[in-house]
């Protein structure tokens, strides 16, 4: 009778019990039609709106949503928060200060059955800290970015509102450079389109979704911060290129008319408060 080599037995014994019993993770089945989930990634509480060119706005607070696009052909994260999960306290202490985050992003994804590794594509409206905090979590996704945006993210020169450590892992990510002067159709069927809208940053972009029940939606990144900015020439005082921003706004406003899309300003606190949050979704 053959004897089990003693080394094989030792190797077997060395496998932790948990690893033997842990069920293999399976990502949720892709939905039949496009879905959009909105996660709570925090709130910003500026003291005033002066850096946005206003003495007064109706609501000073800013929402920080994160978005998961679930398409029959794969998933995409759009904007990933203002504080990395590792720095978020979930002990019930009331948050204080300008940046207030009470919920981590990863558990919100996991509540839907997704792990960060399940996410096929990663895209941001732009590189600023309040849109890229958890970027490193999605380093195994394919990153969709304009060349000029990637360049400023990893440039040696100073850049405003940039926190390199939060996205440093993307330097080695699989990266798809997308056009600076044309729409990019993420899944090839016209339902998830990234549109260039430069100015706030060199490669700022917005997300157009064709949702079956909800209708067309434009998730506008920081094309605007406050609704009051619409139909004015007020842009933030930390804008990369004001003329470019105003041109992008004019182009997108025209697109809203022709497409009939709703405009979702990500930082519009009152508007965001009315939107369904995950696990509910738009379809
Ligand atoms: Zn922002």
| pLDDT for the residue numbered 10 | 47
Question: pLDDT, tens digit, for every residue of 2-40?
Answer: 454 554 444 444 444 444 566 788 999 999 999 999 999
71: pLDDT strictly greater than 90: yes
Centre of ligand 1 from the C-alpha of residue 85, in Å: 18
Structure-token pair, residue 252: 């997108």
Average pLDDT over residues 244-271: 98
Centre of ligand 1 from the C-alpha of residue 144, in Å: 18
Nearest to 28 by CA among 120, 104, 103, 105: 120
Centre of ligand 1 from the C-alpha of residue 131, in Å: 6
What's the first-to-final CA gap in the chain, in angstroms? Answer: 62
Question: pLDDT, tens digit, for every residue of 117-163?
Answer: 999 999 999 999 999 999 999 999 999 999 999 999 999 999 999 99
What percentage of residues in the chain have a pLDDT greater than 90? Answer: 88
Number of CB atoms found within 10 A of residue 21's CB: 7
What three-state secondary structure class fits 194? Answer: strand
Centre of ligand 1 from the C-alpha of residue 52, in Å: 12
Centre of ligand 1 from the C-alpha of residue 130, in Å: 5
Cis omega (within 30 of 0) for bond into 279: yes
């Amino acid at each position: 009778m053959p004897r089990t080599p003693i080394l094989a037995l030792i190797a077997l014994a060395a496998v932790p019990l948990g690893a033997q019993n842990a069920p293999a993770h399976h990502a949720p089945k892709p939905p039949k039609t496009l879905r959009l989930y909105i996660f709570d990634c925090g709130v910003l509480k500026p003291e005033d709106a002066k850096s946005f060119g206003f003495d007064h706005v109706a609501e000073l607070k800013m929402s920080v949503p994160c978005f998961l696009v679930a398409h029959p052909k794969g998933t995409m994260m759009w904007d990933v928060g203002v504080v990395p999960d590792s720095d978020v306290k979930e002990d019930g202490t009331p948050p204080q200060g300008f940046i207030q985050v009470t919920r981590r992003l990863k558990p919100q994804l996991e509540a839907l059955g997704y792990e960060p590794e399940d996410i096929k594509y990663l895209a941001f409206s732009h590189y600023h800290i309040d849109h890229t905090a958890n970027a490193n979590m999605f380093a195994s996704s394919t990153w969709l970015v304009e060349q000029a945006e990637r360049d400023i993210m990893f440039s040696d020169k100073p850049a405003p509102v940039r926190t390199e450590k939060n996205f440093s892992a993307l330097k080695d990510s699989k990266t798809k450079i997308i056009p600076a002067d044309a729409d990019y159709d993420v899944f090839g069927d016209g339902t998830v389109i990234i549109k260039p809208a430069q100015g706030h940053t060199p490669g700022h972009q917005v997300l157009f979704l064709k949702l079956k029940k909800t209708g067309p939606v434009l998730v506008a990144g920081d094309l605007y911060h406050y609704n009051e900015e619409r139909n004015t020439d007020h842009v933030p005082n930390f804008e990369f290129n004001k003329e470019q921003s105003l041109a992008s706004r004019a182009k997108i406003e025209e697109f809203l008319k022709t497409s009939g899309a709703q405009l979702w300003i990500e930082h519009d606190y009152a508007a965001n408060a009315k939107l369904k949050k995950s696990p509910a979704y738009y379809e």
